[in-house]
Structures are given as structure tokens and as C-alpha cells.
């Protein structure tokens, strides 16, 4: 190549020393369609691919900042930190793993709980940080969630929980598993106070989180093509010894089979959640009794109620009966 450079006029020679490199993080690629995306434009689009609409994973703080109004945001339980009850060690000590995750993410644990307002409506939002040990549920996660519920009860606010988790944190053993019961009881207490709880399932929501607070919402929402389930597909197929339908753990399949109430694009979720909560916080709407629901059932022209079996299994306590 040296002989070629000598033939080039000096004014068009490329000086390797002065060549400017492209800063890292300016561009990224969509994991679904492989399109090259400008990072700043992707941020403005809430990390939804401009080419195919794929919803990329985003952090907990970004979700909270998007949902809540600008202004005062009070974080709940942020002083809590995990304790290595079991002195657990795998490839490294649990204590060292926690320190590494805290340094990597800037978060002290896998759940952030914040009180603020959603389009002027007072609300508590909790969001899982999947980059922190896979958003795993552990003692601090359960306690922060429970304190968020207590704040809702004390201040008469609804709660939104944005789930992104691989399940219970194995490094805390049964203590982590018991958070399923602890958080489920907290949701039941919120329901007894007739306050709405909306769960938003994002990619991925698996294990103990999907089987507890993820499935307990008065309204269960999911993002498009989110992976939602308990165990992985291979584990299930080996257990039941059957070939399962393609995409059976994706949000579209779950919506089609009645496990979800709706799928919302991330870019419209703020507006839709605000509208839903305003309806549910109307005392005359959220506290309807079973009798009210029965009287509101559609009646055919012959005067007979349509398919009464649809409402036989209504949970009376859920509607304030």
C-alpha cells in the first residue's frame, strides 16, 4: 500500500492519525429486524424500532420518568439493601455479585418504587430493572413493593407495576420465594380498600413475578411480543411431553386466550393508563357490586339475559360486595 499512497496527491491523502472515530453508542441495531437505528431518534421514540415497531428493553427509571409527570417524584424504600442471609456463593459471593450489579446499573436493587402523578392523577409506579440480576425478586424487592402498597392505602392512590423479571433470586433461597406470598397479600389488601392495581407485563416477565404480582392486576396489560410465562418452553415440553404451539408464551397468544386484558404500544401507554385509572378511581365505577354487574348485563330482545354463566365466577370482594 505504500507505493499507492505515494501516487496520491498530498491534498487527498488520508492521515490515519487525524482520522476521527465514530463515538460509541451513537448507533444501535434492532434485535428483531436488524435495522441500524440512530440512538437519539430511538430514545425519542421510547426505544420502539422505527422500522418494524419492535419494543426494545428499557430501564426502570426511564419507564418511571416516561409515565410520571414532570415535577416532584418521591422514591419509596430506596434505602433498603439486600442482605446475604445464606452466605451464598456460586461462581462468586452473593455480596460481591450485588456490588457488581449496583456498580453496573447504578441501582441498589431490582425494583424502583416512585410516587408521583400521571396526568395530574396521584399514583404509585413500581418498575423492575431487568439489568439488575435479571430483575429477580428478592427480599428488598418484596419490601419495596409492599411499602409502595402501604403508601397507596395511606394516601388513597392506585398502583401501576411494570414487570420485567426472570423470577425469584436463587441467591436468597426460600426468602426470595416467600416474596411471592408477601406481595400477593399486599395486593389483596389494596383490593380490600377498593384501590386499582394495574400490572404491565413487559419482555420478559417470567417465574415467580409472572405467577404473583404480574397476574394479580385488576387490569393486566402487556407490551407487544413480550415473553410471559412461568417456566421456559423446553422445561414445559419435557414435563407435559407435548409439542406446544409456537409463540404460546408471547403476549399476543395470551391475549387471544384470555390471559391479558389488552396489549398497548409503549408510545400510547401513558395516555391509556391515565384514562383507565381515572375510570377505576371513580367510586361509582370501581366499587360496583355483583348485583350492579348483573343488572348491567346485556338483555336480548326476548328479555332473557345473555349467557349468565359468564358472570357466575365474578370475585365479589373485587367489586366491593
CATH of the domain at 213: 3.90.226.10
DSSP assignment letter at 89 = B
The H or E element spanning position 188 is helix 173-192
pLDDT above 60 for 20? no
On whether residue 82 sits in a domain, the answer given is yes
Confidence of residue 303 (pLDDT cuts 50, 70, 90): very low
Domain match, 112 and 254 both = yes
Region 153-160 average pLDDT: 97
Region 268-289 average pLDDT: 82
pLDDT above 90 for 18? no
More confident residue, 292 or 265: 265
- pLDDT reported for residue 312: 31
Contact 142, 148 (CB under 8 A): no
Q: Please count the helices (runs of H) and the strands (runs of E) in the chain.
A: 12, 9
Alpha carbons 28 and 107: distance in angstroms, whole number: 24
Contact 186, 145 (CB under 8 A): yes
Longest dimension (CA), the chain: 96
Domain match, 90 and 144 both = yes
Domain match, 167 and 233 both = yes
Domain match, 48 and 179 both = no
**Total tally of structural domains belonging to the chain:** 2
Domain match, 157 and 230 both = yes
Region 131-160 average pLDDT: 98
More confident residue, 243 or 321: 243
Contact 31, 54 (CB under 8 A): yes
Rounded to whole angstroms, what are the CA distances from 230 to 72, 155, 233? Answer: 36, 33, 9
DSSP assignment letter at 217 = -
- Predicted TM-score (pTM) of the model is 0.82
Determine what percent of the chain is predicted with pLDDT higher than 90: 77
Region 289-310 average pLDDT: 40
More confident residue, 298 or 56: 56
More confident residue, 21 or 191: 191
pLDDT above 70 for 136? yes
On whether residue 66 sits in a domain, the answer given is yes
Gyration radius of the chain's alpha carbons:
24
- pLDDT reported for residue 25: 77
Alpha carbons 129 and 59: distance in angstroms, whole number: 6
Confidence of residue 287 (pLDDT cuts 50, 70, 90): low
On whether residue 103 sits in a domain, the answer given is yes
Domain match, 94 and 235 both = yes
Cell of 21: 472515530
- pLDDT reported for residue 282: 83
20 SS3 class: coil
Domain match, 177 and 277 both = yes
Region 200-212 average pLDDT: 98
Region 5-31 average pLDDT: 67
Average pLDDT over all residues of the chain: 87
Domain match, 52 and 64 both = no
Region 107-118 average pLDDT: 98
Confidence of residue 315 (pLDDT cuts 50, 70, 90): very low
Beta-carbon contacts of 210 under 8 Å, excluding residues fewer than 6 positions away, are 163, 165, 167, 201, 228, 229, 230
Confidence of residue 255 (pLDDT cuts 50, 70, 90): very high
pLDDT above 80 for 9? no
Point out the least confidently predicted range of 32-41, 135-144, 242-251, 312-321: 312-321
DSSP assignment letter at 133 = G
- pLDDT reported for residue 187: 98
Instruction: State the residue range of the domain holding 236.
Output: 58-292
The H or E element spanning position 115 is strand 111-118
On whether residue 321 sits in a domain, the answer given is no
Confidence of residue 308 (pLDDT cuts 50, 70, 90): very low
- pLDDT reported for residue 16: 52
More confident residue, 285 or 227: 227
On whether residue 210 sits in a domain, the answer given is yes
On whether residue 95 sits in a domain, the answer given is yes
Alpha carbons 299 and 307: distance in angstroms, whole number: 10
pLDDT above 70 for 284? no
Domain match, 203 and 147 both = yes
Alpha carbons 215 and 46: distance in angstroms, whole number: 25
Minimal CA–CA distance to 286: which of 193, 201, 212?
Answer: 193
Confidence of residue 180 (pLDDT cuts 50, 70, 90): very high
On whether residue 13 sits in a domain, the answer given is no
pLDDT above 80 for 117? yes
Domain match, 120 and 233 both = yes
Domain match, 106 and 219 both = yes
On whether residue 184 sits in a domain, the answer given is yes
Region 71-90 average pLDDT: 95
Domain match, 122 and 237 both = yes
Minimal CA–CA distance to 184: which of 161, 158, 154, 155?
Answer: 161
More confident residue, 20 or 47: 47
Amino acid at each position: 500500500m505504500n507505493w499507492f499512497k505515494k501516487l496520491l496527491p498530498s491534498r487527498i491523502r488520508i492521515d490515519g492519525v487525524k482520522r476521527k472515530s465514530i463515538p460509541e453508542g451513537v448507533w444501535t441495531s434492532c434485535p428483531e429486524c436488524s435495522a441500524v437505528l440512530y440512538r437519539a431518534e430511538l430514545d425519542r421514540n421510547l426505544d420502539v424500532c422505527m422500522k418494524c415497531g419492535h419494543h426494545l428493553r428499557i430501564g426502570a427509571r426511564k419507564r418511571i420518568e416516561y409515565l410520571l409527570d414532570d415535577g416532584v417524584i418521591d422514591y419509596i424504600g430506596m434505602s433498603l439493601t439486600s442482605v446475604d442471609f445464606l452466605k451464598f456463593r456460586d461462581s462468586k459471593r452473593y455480596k460481591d455479585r450485588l456490588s457488581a450489579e449496583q456498580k453496573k446499573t447504578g441501582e441498589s436493587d431490582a425494583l424502583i418504587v416512585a410516587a408521583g402523578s400521571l396526568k395530574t392523577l396521584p399514583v404509585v409506579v413500581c418498575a423492575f430493572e431487568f439489568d439488575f440480576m435479571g430483575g429477580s425478586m428478592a427480599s428488598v424487592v418484596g419490601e419495596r413493593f409492599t411499602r409502595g402498597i402501604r403508601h397507596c392505602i395511606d394516601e388513597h392512590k392506585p398502583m401501576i407495576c411494570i414487570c420485567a423479571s426472570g423470577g425469584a433470586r436463587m441467591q436468597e433461597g426460600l426468602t426470595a420465594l416467600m416474596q411471592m406470598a408477601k406481595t400477593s397479600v399486599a395486593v389483596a389488601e389494596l383490593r380490600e380498600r377498593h384501590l386499582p392495581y394495574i400490572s404491565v407485563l413487559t419482555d420478559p416477565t417470567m417465574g415467580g413475578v409472572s405467577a404473583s404480582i404480574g397476574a394479580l392486576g385488576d387490569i393486566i396489560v402487556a407490551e407487544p411480543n413480550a415473553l410471559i410465562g412461568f417456566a421456559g418452553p423446553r422445561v414445559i415440553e419435557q414435563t407435559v411431553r407435548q409439542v406446544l404451539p409456537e409463540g404460546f408464551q408471547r403476549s399476543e397468544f395470551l391475549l387471544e386466550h384470555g390471559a391479558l386484558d389488552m396489549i398497548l404500544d409503549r408510545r400510547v401507554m401513558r395516555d391509556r393508563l391515565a384514562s383507565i385509572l381515572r375510570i377505576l378511581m371513580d367510586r361509582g365505577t370501581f366499587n360496583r357490586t355483583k348485583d350492579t354487574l348483573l343488572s348491567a348485563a346485556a338483555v336480548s330482545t326476548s328479555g332473557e339475559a345473555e349467557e349468565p354463566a359468564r358472570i357466575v365466577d365474578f370475585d365479589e370482594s373485587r367489586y366491593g360486595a
